[in-house]
Copies of this chain bind each other. A is one copy, B any other.
Amino acid sequence: MTKGRLEAFSDGVIAILITIMVLELKVPHGADLAALAPLLPVLLTYTLSFVYVGIYWNNHHHMLHTVTRVNGKILWANLHLLFWLSLIPFVTGWMGENHFAAVPVAAYGAVLLLSGLSYYILGRALIRHHGENSKIARALGRDFKGLISVVIYAVAIPLSFVSRWTSVALYFAVAVMWLLPDRRIERTLGE
């Protein structure tokens, strides 16, 4: 089975997710700058989630680039990833509208954690299908960045009840870490 439709479907879902989040930016009734003020936390979380979904699309693009075939298990591992990503607009809206209250901040981290785990599972399913010596296996390697992200989320979730801004700062830090291009895969491809 070829990967073409898997990529097309994932592109479609991710494109919709990254776009419908902007619907939470409800048009305010006032027409002055003060009307925008309550939207600032919503805009901030929108930007953070836009970057996160962008990172997932980017990494998904890189990861699928190195594989050639998919099977039923991979299709479902991919849908599993898309399920958790699909909850990002919900927790984004919840966190933004409640000005980074503790529980929504923890919920945001939980969805990031589960997205990260499902991405990891997808990577393993791809490696199992292509073999331990495949391009994808070498490209993903031990997936240090993926593991460290999951650890940081796991720390940030309980931390949100102590210092929610530290948790939010950790989410931003992970996003910045991923914004740096993934040299591992680019190096493997260049071999």
Which residues of chain A have a CB within 8 Å of any CB of chain B?
1, 5-9, 11-20, 22-25, 27-29, 31-33, 35-36, 47, 50, 54, 57-58, 61-62, 65, 71-73, 75-76, 79, 82-83, 86-87, 89-90, 93-94, 97-98, 101-104, 107, 179, 181-182, 186, 189
Contact = CB atoms under 8 A, between A and B. Distances in A.
Contacts of A20: 16, 19-20, 22-23
Given A22-B86, A79-B54, A93 B9 contact: no
A83 B15 CA distance: 11
Contacts of A79: 50, 54, 57-58
19 contacts: A1-B62, A5-B7, A5-B61, A6-B61, A9-B11, A13-B19, A16-B20, A18-B82, A18-B86, A20-B20, A22-B86, A22-B87, A24-B27, A27-B93, A27-B97, A31-B94, A31-B101, A31-B104, A73-B181
